[in-house]
Amino acid sequence: MEISMPPPQIYVEKTLAIIKPDIIDKEEEIQDIILRSGFTIVQRRKLRLSPEHCSNFYVEQYGKMFFPNLTAYMSSGPLVAVILARHKAIAYWKELLGPSNSLLAKETHPDSLRAIYGTDDLRNALHGSNDFAAAEREIRFMFPEVIVEPIPVGQAAKDYLNLYVTPTLLEGLTALYLAS
């Protein structure tokens, strides 16, 4: 008797990473670490946020003592927003970042990105989404045109390919054949 198992489905999760203004000159170095850690860079955008945009992005922090300093810091220069993807992207990125307080990170997680690049609790070098809902909201904030839904697998992927990709390929390959 043969037991048929369905093929495994790999869920690709996305998260938002931000290279903050004070370490923008280390972008290439950090991007190399990101890629060597198994992430795919889905999209990258260099931008400068106004204090108002920073307030909207960090709305959950509103009312906390450090909020004015945070918005001033994040609007002090250009930053790089990056959509990262991989299996369990949020958890792996948070692990790579280390504790949000860079001083604590230097003591407890000396190889983490915040220990290496951060200087204190506020200037912690990099941002990472806390959870799936935050990642969705933050990606939509930084990349309003991006579709956040998971990459289709199984029948949904086959349907998409049959509906959109196959006809386009067929038309293009036919035209290429007729032109030769």
Catalytic residue annotation: 127
Dihedrals phi, psi of 81, to nearest 5 degrees:
-100, 135
Structure tokens, 133: 């809902």
d(CA 147, CA 140): 8
Structure tokens at 46: 């260099």
Q: Roughly what angle, to the nearest 10 degrees, separates helices 132-142 and 89-97?
A: 80
Neighbours of 103 (CB within 10 A): 15
